């Protein structure tokens, strides 16, 4: 009896291809009540409130986000020249480079008390400098959010109708309002859209302004719009060279701080 033997040749093909990475799952906000953390600023009566958002940082760590935009209660301390040396040391202001005094007062006192209103006319250098000062004073790694972090927060929850959550041209009366006076959004944050636009880090030293302001139409209160830091933001500045610390043409330019944990 003849036997037929089938010989199967197997060839092995190898490839030095890199592994295919699965698309990153969209960040989802935590359920339940916001986790609020408070950070006292030494030498002041100010206490900053942050919302802890699990996994919201670009690194995947928790991102603690200031509930409101930075107000003049702290921002004015950063630039004022009327502080005694002893208090300067206590505030850690002696350890940082501080802004020049503005050519014209940015506080708009005719709008009412300034301490609870968002800091305005702020340049990105000013915003980063103030965050650095507070990181030293509070012993927390405070910084500006990245653009991708801000976008993540902006797209995470609906803000409808926008007038409940944002001061825009439709309801602001052509002025900024006290921080945190409208409803908090689903993340527990105030004014992420509206009141003042916020400096965020796009890449390296490049910053852009995100979010609408009191001067913008409701349609501009979206998560896409970004304003680049161009010479137009310094229009009206009489100084030569123009200030690196102030944006005279942008009374609606402000910021908020975050830290990772």
DSSP per-residue string spanning 170-183 = TTS-SS---TT-S-
C-alpha 41/C-alpha 49 separation (Å) is: 11
Output the six-digit token pair for 143: 């910084």
Residue 124 token pair: 């990105």
Distance CA 88, CA 161 (A): 44
pTM (predicted TM-score): 0.86
pLDDT of residue 104: 60
199-211 pLDDT tens trace = 999 999 999 999 9
**Domain assignment present for 12:** no
- pLDDT of 95 > 80? The answer is no
Residue 7, domain member (yes or no)? no
DSSP string, 25-76: PPP-PPSSS-EEEEEE-TTSS-EEEEEEETT-STTSS-EEEESSPPBHHHHH
Q: Assign residue 243 the CATH number of its domain.
A: 3.90.1580.10
The answer to whether the CB of 118 falls within 8 A of the CB of 176 is yes
Domain count, the chain: 1
Q: Is residue 220 part of a domain?
A: yes
Read off the pLDDT of residues 166-179 as tens digits, 9 standing for 90 and up: 999 999 999 999 99
203 inside domain = yes
From the list 254, 244, 42, the residue with the least C-alpha distance to 145 is 254
């Amino acid at each position: 009896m003849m036997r037929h033997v089938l010989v199967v040749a197997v060839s092995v093909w190898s490839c030095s291809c890199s592994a295919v990475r699965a698309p990153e799952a969209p960040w989802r906000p935590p359920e339940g009540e916001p986790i609020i953390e408070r950070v006292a600023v030494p030498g002041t009566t100010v206490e900053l409130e942050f919302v802890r958002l699990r996994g919201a940082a670009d690194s995947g760590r928790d991102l603690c986000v200031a509930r409101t935009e930075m107000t003049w209660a702290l921002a004015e301390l950063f630039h004022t020249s009327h502080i005694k040396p002893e208090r300067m040391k206590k505030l850690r202001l002696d350890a940082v480079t501080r802004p020049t005094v503005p050519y014209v007062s940015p506080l708009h006192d005719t709008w009412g008390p300034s301490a609870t209103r968002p800091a305005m006319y702020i340049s990105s250098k000013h915003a980063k400098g103030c965050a650095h000062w507070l990181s030293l004073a509070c012993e927390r790694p405070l910084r500006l959010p990245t653009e991708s972090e801000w976008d993540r927060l902006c797209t995470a929850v609906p803000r409808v109708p926008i007038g409940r959550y944002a001061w825009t041209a439709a309801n602001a009366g052509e002025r900024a309002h006290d921080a945190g006076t409208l409803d908090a959004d689903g993340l527990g944050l105030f004014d992420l859209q509206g009141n003042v636009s916020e400096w965020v880090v796009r890449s390296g030293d490049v910053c852009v302004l995100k979010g609408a302001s009191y001067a913008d139409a409701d349609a501009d209160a979206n998560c896409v719009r970004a304003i680049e830091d161009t010479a137009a933001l310094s229009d009206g500045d009489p100084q030569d060279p123009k200030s690196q610390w102030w944006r005279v043409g942008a009374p609606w330019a402000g910021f908020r701080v975050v830290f990772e944990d």
